[in-house]
């Protein structure tokens, strides 16, 4: 079972550091960001100009009742309104365009990184938690990196425009208004720190709940068969309550921050009205001027509030950034390729595999899974790999596929150190048939062609015939275009295994790794795939990880792993040609 995300140690970073980490994905569209900000500032300027016209209309049209003076300011107001509307619409669209492209780019980047992470290293996250990071967390990061710069620029520019207009109208009243700005700023910083902690807890709980739901739904057959519905409901309910509590903490903070800002704004407005009334009584300010100032104030305070909210949102989004950075810092297999100076393997690849004093320990584990393994496997040999659970049988295959790098020693393919070859080059010559048949939610045809999409129809059918799958596929309602279902649920276990065999046969790679190919099958199904297995391994260097004595009896070599060392016997080599493999070293 995957480790709970709550036990993970997130990389603690500040909002500016998080912004710098992900900004390169936005900077490729910096022109759109700049144009969007300029357009939104133009819209803010048009709003300020329209507000100024209100004062002119009040003093020059309404107070003296001069209708003739109305048309000029009215036309100017309409022109500003049209310009502002066009600028606001275009700027808003460009800002949204930038945000959506950022979401696409960041999700692609994180998913591409995950594809390079060894499969067992992903288990500590949990599938549901990874989905939550690829969806909800990425959307939250967007609010900091893509949306926040435009919002910050436009809000700051709008605040400056309305502040200047307010000072132009009455500098005394403007000073009273801006005295509230430091209070808003410090409140935003304080609430932002609290919101960051609350959001981190909410996102972690969301990931745990997603993992729990994914696991429970995937194992629903077992849950129902064992009558464990109530226990599963209890686990989901407890984690749901944790998520609810974390969400309520965010709601409490948001509920307090908003009214606090409104209270500060109300006090400021009352002070301005009182001071404005005094200025009118002393003939320092006209009624139209006070109305214009009030309108400027109505626009200025929201801009100041927006600046504070950006600070709070940035602190909140940093928690999601930490979760994504944690994924991006998860180690991948080192791959220096493609490098022009590294020639590919000579064709055709024969499939000679050599382990030279190979040792391996999983990251974070102090115990060596393998140590001092020395093997020389001639091309075309069938090598059975046996041993107790946890002895390192599957680890041999993972090292050969470069899911991990050896802690010591080298692995050679046709005499070339695979560590110096591109990962894709190595895996192009190796076919894996995992214990789980791993079918996708597509058609039978798509699943067979998965390992070699460019194969012809004749090649695909030939592979299906060799895997003893063509017969049952032909009886399906739509033949090869019949849906396999999620994880191949429309097919029986034996049928899924034969589809996986056909997929492996179609690849025609010279090296083959079969991980417990008969596990979970009854005697009839096992007997049925024996002949396809023999056809699959013929002429290939095949590593057969198995406990099935019927399979080991057919092997040229049998490797028995125990305590990280290998003991080798060669029951079938007398009938084969090729160099004698070296004995292993303890």
Residues 139 and 249 grouped into a single domain: yes
pLDDT digit string (tens) for 354-395? 999 988 888 767 678 888 888 899 998 888 888 887 778 888
Give me the domain span that covers residue 261. Answer: 12-328
Residues 299 and 373 grouped into a single domain: no
- The C-alpha angle with vertex 50 and arms to 49 and 56, in degrees rounded to 5, equals 95
| Domain at 221, CATH number | 1.20.1560.10
pLDDT digit string (tens) for 40-61? 888 877 877 776 676 677 666 6
- The pLDDT-based confidence of 23 (bands split at 50, 70, 90) is confident
pLDDT of 99 higher than 50: yes
Residues 266 and 382 grouped into a single domain: no
Identify which has the larger pLDDT, 183 or 203: 203
Quick check: is 3 in a domain? no
Contact by Cβ (8 Å): 576, 570: no
- Give the model's pLDDT for residue 274: 65
Number of domains, the chain: 2
Average pLDDT for the chain = 77
- Predicted TM-score (pTM) of the model is 0.69
Quick check: is 2 in a domain? no
Q: How many Cβ atoms from other residues are within 10 Å of residue 270's Cβ?
A: 10
Residues 322 and 401 grouped into a single domain: no
Burial of residue 556 (number of CB atoms within 10 Å: 0-12, 13-18, 19+): buried
455 to 363, 404, 446, 452: CA distances (angstroms): 39, 30, 11, 6
Q: How is residue 367 annotated by DSSP? A: S
Quick check: is 80 in a domain? yes
- The alpha carbon dihedral of 109, 113, 115, 120 has a sign of negative
| Domain at 451, CATH number | 3.40.50.300
- Give the model's pLDDT for residue 410: 92
Residues 292 and 377 grouped into a single domain: no
Q: What are phi and psi of 69, to 5 degrees?
A: -80, 0
64 to 56, 57, 68, 232, 336: CA distances (angstroms): 11, 10, 11, 77, 81
Q: Would you put residue 462 in left (φ > 0), alpha (ψ -120 to 50) or beta? A: alpha
Q: How far apart are CA 287 and CA 280, in angstroms?
A: 7
- Give the model's pLDDT for residue 412: 92
Residues 284 and 154 grouped into a single domain: yes
pLDDT of 515 higher than 80: yes
Residues 288 and 372 grouped into a single domain: no
Residues 85 and 204 grouped into a single domain: yes
pLDDT of 457 higher than 60: yes
Quick check: is 99 in a domain? yes
pLDDT digit string (tens) for 307-351? 777 777 777 778 788 888 888 888 776 665 445 566 777 778 888
């Amino acid at each position: 079972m995957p480790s709970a995300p709550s036990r993970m140690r997130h990389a603690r970073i500040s909002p500016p550091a998080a912004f710098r980490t992900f900004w390169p994905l936005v900077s490729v569209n910096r022109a759109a960001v700049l144009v969007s900000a300029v357009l939104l500032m133009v819209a803010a300027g048009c709003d300020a100009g329209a507000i100024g016209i209100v004062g002119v209309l009040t003093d020059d049209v309404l107070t003296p009742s001069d209708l003739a003076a109305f048309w000029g300011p009215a036309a100017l107001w309409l022109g500003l309104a049209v310009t502002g509307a066009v600028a606001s619409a275009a700027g808003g669209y460009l800002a949204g365009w930038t945000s959506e492209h950022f979401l696409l780019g960041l999700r692609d980047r994180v998913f591409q990184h995950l594809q390079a992470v060894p499969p067992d290293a992903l288990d500590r996250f949990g599938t549901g938690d990874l989905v939550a990071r690829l969806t909800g967390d990425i959307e939250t990061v967007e609010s900091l990196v893509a949306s926040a710069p435009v919002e910050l620029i436009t809000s700051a520019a709008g605040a400056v425009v309305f502040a200047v207009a307010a000072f132009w109208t009455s500098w005394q009243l403007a000073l009273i208004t801006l005295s509230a700005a430091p209070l808003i700023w410090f409140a935003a910083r304080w609430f932002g720190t609290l919101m960051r902690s609350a959001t981190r807890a909410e996102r972690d709980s969301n990931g745990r709940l997603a993992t729990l739901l994914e696991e429970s739904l995937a194992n629903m057959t077992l849950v129902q068969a064992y009558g464990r519905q109530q226990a599963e409901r209890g686990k989901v309910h407890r984690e749901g309550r944790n998520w609810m509590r974390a969400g309520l903490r965010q709601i409490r903070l948001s509920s307090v921050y908003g009214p606090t800002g409104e209270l500060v704004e109300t006090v400021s407005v009352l002070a301005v009205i009182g001071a404005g009334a005094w200025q009118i009584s002393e003939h320092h300010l006209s009624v139209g001027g006070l109305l214009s100032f009030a309108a400027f104030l109505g626009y200025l305070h929201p801009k100041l509030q927006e600046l504070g909210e950006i600070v709070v949102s940035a602190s909140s989004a940093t928690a999601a950034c930490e979760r994504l950075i944690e994924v991006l810092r998860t180690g991948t297999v080192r791959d220096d390729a493609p490098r022009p100076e590294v020639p590919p393997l000579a064709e055709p690849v024969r499939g000679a595999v050599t382990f030279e004093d190979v040792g391996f320990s999983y990251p974070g584990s102090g115990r060596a899974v393998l140590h001092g393994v020395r093997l020389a496997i001639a091309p075309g040999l069938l090598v059975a790999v046996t041993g107790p659970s946890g002895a390192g049988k599957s680890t041999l295959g993972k090292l050969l596929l470069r899911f991990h790098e050896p802690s010591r020693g080298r692995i050679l393919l046709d005499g070339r150190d695979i560590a110096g070859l591109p990962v894709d080059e190595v895996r192009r010559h190796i076919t894996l048939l995992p214990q789980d048949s791993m079918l996708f939610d597509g058609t039978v045809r798509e699943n067979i062609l998965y390992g070699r999409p460019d194969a012809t129809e004749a090649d695909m059918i030939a592979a299906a015939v060799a895997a003893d799958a063509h017969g049952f596929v032909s009886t399906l309602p739509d033949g090869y275009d019949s849906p396999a279902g999620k994880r191949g649920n429309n097919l029986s276990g034996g049928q899924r295994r034969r589809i996986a065999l056909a997929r492996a046969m179609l690849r025609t790679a010279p090296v083959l790794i079969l991980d417990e190919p008969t596990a979970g099958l009854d005697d009839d199904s096992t007997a049925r795939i024996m002949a396809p297995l023999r056809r699959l391994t013929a002429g290939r260097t095949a590593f057969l990880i198995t406990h099935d004595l019927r399979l080991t009896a057919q092997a040229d070599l049998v490797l028995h792993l125990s305590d990280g060392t290998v003991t080798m016997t060669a029951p079938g080599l007398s009938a084969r040609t090729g160099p004698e493999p070296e004995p292993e070293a303890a």
